[in-house]
């Protein structure tokens, strides 16, 4: 799952709204390319259950986990105003509730908030680089342990006393002494 921040899309121009002013995404607003890069990265790196995009998303999720009631009160106090611009909503504005508002024209992915939207998310870039480094470290560790597995297994087996000492007929190997087992020499 990719947890998204507010994204600058055209939907705020044609969503049906009963707010007194024009709708907007709750700031900070990010460009659609930020969201697209996060989705592509998540698809290319499916090892994690969840990806979070933007500092506001991370802060909201942490606040909700630590003090959900405090976050609820904060959003109740600030949420209505943060979802509106200072511009009055145009009278007779069309919406997309019953039919597409962009049927005759493709409006693209950007909304009207290009001047306020962030095209880069430093937190996302850092998290992606750390994920790639973590994956490389796992691959390197797998290669090293795969290459040295025979030597390591012999070493570990020696630490456990599981290596076979052929001490002579009837003498069990080290680690099996007193266990009531038949040694490998007696089995043959």
As a whole number of angstroms, the distance between CA 128 and CA 2 comes to 13
For the chain, give the percent of residues with pLDDT over 70: 77
Q: What angle do CA 18, 9, 79 make, to 5 degrees?
A: 45
Confidence bin at 158 (pLDDT 50/70/90):
low
What backbone phi and psi angles, to 5 degrees, belong to 146?
Answer: -70, -40
DSSP annotation of 84 reads E
- Strands 2-3 and 51-52, how do they pair? parallel
Q: Please compute the mean of the pLDDT values over residues 118-145 and round it to a whole number.
A: 85
d(CA 61, CA 68): 9
**What percentage of the chain's residues is helix, strand, coil (to nearest 5)?**
45, 10, 45
Please count the other Cβ atoms lying within 10 Å of the Cβ belonging to residue 15.
Answer: 16
> What pLDDT is stored for residue 138 in this prediction?
84
In this prediction the pTM is 0.66
pLDDT of 16 higher than 90: no
Once rounded to an integer, what is the mean pLDDT over residues 51-61?
A: 91
Domain-by-domain residue ranges, the chain? 2-88+109-141, 154-187
- From residue 174, alpha-carbon distances to 150, 155, 164, 166 in Å are 20, 14, 7, 9
Please state, for a pLDDT cut of 90, what percent of the chain lies above it: 39
* Cβ–Cβ under 8 Å, residues 28 and 5: yes
CA dihedral angle for residue 117, residue 123, residue 129, residue 134, rounded to 10 degrees = -140
H/E stretch holding 106 reads: none
């Amino acid at each position: 799952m990719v947890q998204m921040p507010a994204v600058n899309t055209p939907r705020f121009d044609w969503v049906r709204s009963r707010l007194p002013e024009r709708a907007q995404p709750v700031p900070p607003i990010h460009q659609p390319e930020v969201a697209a890069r996060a989705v592509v990265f998540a698809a290319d790196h499916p090892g994690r259950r969840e990806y979070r995009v933007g500092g506001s998303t991370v802060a909201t999720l942490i606040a909700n986990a630590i003090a959900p009631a405090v976050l609820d009160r904060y959003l109740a106090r600030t949420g209505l105003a943060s979802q509106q611009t200072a511009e009055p909503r145009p009278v007779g504005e069309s919406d997309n509730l019953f039919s597409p508002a962009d049927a005759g024209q493709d409006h693209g992915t950007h909304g009207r908030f290009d001047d306020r939207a962030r095209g880069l998310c430093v937190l996302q870039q850092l998290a992606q680089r750390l994920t790639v480094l973590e994956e490389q470290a796992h691959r390197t560790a797998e290669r090293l342990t795969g290459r040295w597995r025979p030597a390591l297994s012999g070493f570990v087996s020696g630490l456990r006393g599981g290596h076979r000492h052929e001490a002579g007929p009837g003498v069990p190997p080290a680690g099996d002494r007193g266990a009531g087992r038949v040694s490998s020499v007696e089995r043959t």
